[in-house]
Structure 1
Amino acid sequence: MEKKTKIILIVLLALIICGVAISIFSSPSSKNSSGNQTITDMANRTVNIPSDVNRVVATSPPMTTIMYMLAPDKLAGVNFQWTDEELKYVPDQYKEKFPVVGGWFGSQDGNYEEFIASEPNLVVEGIDEGMGVDLSTVEERQEKFGSLPVVAVTDNTNVTEIDNTIGFLGKILGAEDKADQLIGFNDKYLAEVQSTASSIPESERKSVYYASGEDGLSTYASGASHGQLISLVGGKNVADTEIQDSGSELTVSIEQVMKWNPDVIIATDEDFYGKVYSDSKWASVKAVKNHQVYLSPQSPFKWFDRPPGANIIIGVPWTAKVIYPDRYSNINMVDATKEFYSNFYHYDLSDDEARDILTSSGLNESDL
């Protein structure tokens, strides 16, 4: 009997040991015990990343902008230096927080050592095949960054398709609620403008010229992401009428602009906007004669372009009010601006500050 009892005790002890072993090796999983998690990024790559992503840098401004909007405390660096004007609406705790690490966009001035020196635990690479950034680029980045994980995220500059990118980054950053909030804001105004724009007869659509650059003589047609908001809200981009290569920046003459004779001009350069009404070359253009030239708000990120990305979400209602203030009279731009800045730029505007931003862009007080 005693021998039988000993056998039972040995069996029970063995079962207990097995249970402990199973617990150790299966709950939590091995990825959690090492502080990592395995994800599939937006290039369908399997990537092992930290479970707690708390310092992250991106290789291009559109990705950096979204991360600032969703989780600024987790941003470890920015791609370029903010100007004094842009810093006007940046909270004090972030003005000196971020080192400038450069990036691979435009001037292609990225430096791997500077990125690593910012001590991130994750790098985000925006993939955009139209800009030559594809899977091979991501793999090159990963090779150069070594053990520092690189996650590929679709750099979707089309505001009607950017929700998935925002949602993916929200999950990576542990900021799902903020991502959902930004997606909700975007979807609200997209639904508004798409509904209204579809009801505007072709004969009543206003012609619009996007004046890019300090002389106003560069532009984009609707096929380029840079000018997308014009057609989105129901305007007619004048550059569409004669220009076939719609994806690139186009240099035009003042004579061509005069021939187009747009109802509205939208500018993104303060120097051009500051002199257009006094420049005799532009005096005969309908938009100038009728005082219908507008400057995209600039701070802390531009609302219309440069770059196109999540920052132009607030540009959707603004562009609608610029081109068709009567058709979009139900949009309250003061409220929309305050909501966007508070929730996504982390800066609480007063009514006066919001009105100043909007009237400085050329909007009339009565159209806000």
Structure 2
Amino acid sequence: MEKKSKIIILILILLIVLGIATHLFLTPSTVENSGSKNITDMIGRHVEIPASLNKVVATSPPMTTVIYMIAPEKLSALNFEWTDSEKVYVPSQYRGLPNIGGWYGTQDGSYEEFIASEPDIVIESIDEGGDGDLSTVNERQSKFGKIPVVAVNDTTTVKKVDSSILFIGEIIGSADKAQKLVNFNDKYLNEVQDKSSKLSDNNTKTVYYAVGNDGLKTYPSNSTHGQLIDLVGGKNVANSINQGNTTSGFQVSMEQVISWNPDVIITTDPEFYAKVYNDSNWANINAVKNHEVYLSPQSPFKWFDRPVGANMIIGVPWTAKVIYPDQYSDIDMISVTKEFYSDFYHYDLSDDQAKQILLGSGLKEKNL
């Protein structure tokens, strides 16, 4: 009997040892290596990052915008300065985030300032399949030293942004909020793609994107800056312009805009919008005569452009209502705006605040 008891005890000890060994060998990498985990970024690099991230920065505004939308408490710096008007709907705890520049457009990033912000990781934007991305990321990594650099696919195209949002959400510990943002995006993408595919030539509206305080710069189709026009089925009047330059845009003449005579004008420039209805040069254009000029809402990020990125997700239903209000009468823009600001801009709007944002953009009250 005693011998049998010893055998049972030995078996129990063996099972306990095997259980511990199984735990050690099979536990995922996300909880091993003394508080770090190994990930594969979106360029295929294996990167070791802290298991828990408290401070994150990105090298460009589109990536920074995603972080702000899904985990603002983890964003330790910006690549830009919010203007006073943009700060209107920014919660007070985020208004003082420092601007450390970045590597996009102006190329004004400062490695010293990035490092001084003490991030746990740096997120670097890459062009999917683009040349030179690996060397750029490796250069960043060499400059940032022990701070891990994680490469994430470009987030400037609304139709392709989902995978990058989900990836960022997963690595920074905000997967649920990232999924919520993707669900919002997909809901309106699916609706506008379905309805735009059914538009006939007879009911397609022509649209001009007026850039700058004189409105005489624009972007053709297939440009990320005017992508929402294409997405909802508007006909960009600048389609005839050389399609080779979709990044910097084109200067056009007043005569050219008059000859295009667009049904709708969209702008992101408040100065242009404030004067267009009183400018005799624009007076005979259909969009002006019919009060069909619209200003992208500005705060805390523009809905239509600049930056191009996840901030344009709310611009999808707005642009649809701007160009084709009758086809999208089922969308309640006051409710949509309140939902988006609460969930992703971390600011609870009243009905009246949401209404004023929309009326200020030029939407007619009957079309809200």
Secondary structure of 2:152's partner? strand
Which residue does the alignment assign to 2:188? 189
Structure 1: how far apart are the matches of 2:279 and 2:296? Answer: 20
Which residue does the alignment assign to 2:199? 200
> Structure 1 17/198 Cα, relative in aligned 2: closer, same or farther at 3 Å?
closer
Aligned length: 364
Which residue does the alignment assign to 2:312? 312
Structure 2: how far apart are the matches of 1:151 and 1:128? Answer: 14
Shift of 1:18: 6.7
Secondary structure of 2:63's partner? helix
Q: Does the 8 Å contact 2:128/2:153 carry over to 1?
A: no
Q: Does the 8 Å contact 1:123/1:150 carry over to 2?
A: yes
Q: Map 1:102-117; keep pairs closer than 5 Å.
A: 102-117=101-116
Give CA-to-partner distance per residue, 1:101-149, whole Å, 9 cap, x none.
1101111000001001011010000112698772211111011101100
Shift of 1:153: 0.3
Structure 2: how far apart are the matches of 1:312 and 1:245? Answer: 23
Q: Does the 8 Å contact 2:128/2:154 carry over to 1?
A: no
Structure 2: how far apart are the matches of 1:17 and 1:131? Answer: 52
Give CA-to-partner distance per residue, 1:161-184, whole Å, 9 cap, x none.
111011101101111111111111
Which residue does the alignment assign to 2:168? 169
Which residue does the alignment assign to 1:346? 346
> Structure 1 243/289 Cα, relative in aligned 2: closer, same or farther at 3 Å?
farther
Q: Does the 8 Å contact 2:102/2:108 carry over to 1?
A: yes
Shift of 1:242: 3.9
Give CA-to-partner distance per residue, 1:292-350, whole Å, 9 cap, x none.
11000010001000011000000000000101111111111001000000000000000
Which residue does the alignment assign to 2:218? 219
Report the AA paired with residue 112 of structure 2: E
Which residue does the alignment assign to 1:278? 278
Secondary structure of 2:49's partner? strand
Q: Does the 8 Å contact 1:220/1:250 carry over to 2?
A: yes
> Structure 1 111/28 Cα, relative in aligned 2: closer, same or farther at 3 Å?
same
Q: Does the 8 Å contact 1:222/1:246 carry over to 2?
A: no
Which residue does the alignment assign to 1:323? 323
Which residue does the alignment assign to 1:38? 38
Structure 1: how far apart are the matches of 2:259 and 2:297? Answer: 28
Structure 1: how far apart are the matches of 2:280 and 2:316? Answer: 31
Q: Does the 8 Å contact 1:126/1:133 carry over to 2?
A: no
Using structure 1 for the length normalisation, give the TM-score: 0.92
Gaps of 5+ in 2: none
Structure 2: how far apart are the matches of 1:320 and 1:125? Answer: 32
**2:344 is aligned with 1:360:** no
Shift of 1:94: 1.6
Structure 1: how far apart are the matches of 2:127 and 2:72? Answer: 24
Q: Map 1:199-278; keep pairs closer than 5 Å.
A: 199-248=198-247, 249-278=249-278
**2:83 is aligned with 1:83:** yes
**Aligned-residue identity in percent:** 61
77-86 vs 342-351, greater mean Cα deviation? 77-86
Using structure 2 for the length normalisation, give the TM-score: 0.92
Q: Map 1:77-156; keep pairs closer than 5 Å.
A: 77-96=77-96, 98-128=97-127, 134-156=133-155
> Structure 1 17/207 Cα, relative in aligned 2: closer, same or farther at 3 Å?
closer
Structure 2: how far apart are the matches of 1:315 and 1:62? Answer: 15
Shift of 1:281: 1.5
> Structure 1 133/322 Cα, relative in aligned 2: closer, same or farther at 3 Å?
farther
CA RMSD of aligned residues (A): 2.5
Structure 1: how far apart are the matches of 2:229 and 2:63? Answer: 23
Q: Does the 8 Å contact 1:240/1:246 carry over to 2?
A: no
> Structure 1 242/104 Cα, relative in aligned 2: closer, same or farther at 3 Å?
closer
Give CA-to-partner distance per residue, 1:246-305, whole Å, 9 cap, x none.
523111111111111101000011111111111122112111111111000010001000
Q: Does the 8 Å contact 1:54/1:74 carry over to 2?
A: yes
Shift of 1:33: 3.9
Structure 1: how far apart are the matches of 2:294 and 2:332? Answer: 18
282-291 vs 322-331, greater mean Cα deviation? 282-291
Gaps of 5+ in 1: none
Report the AA paired with residue 348 of structure 1: D
> Structure 1 329/18 Cα, relative in aligned 2: closer, same or farther at 3 Å?
closer
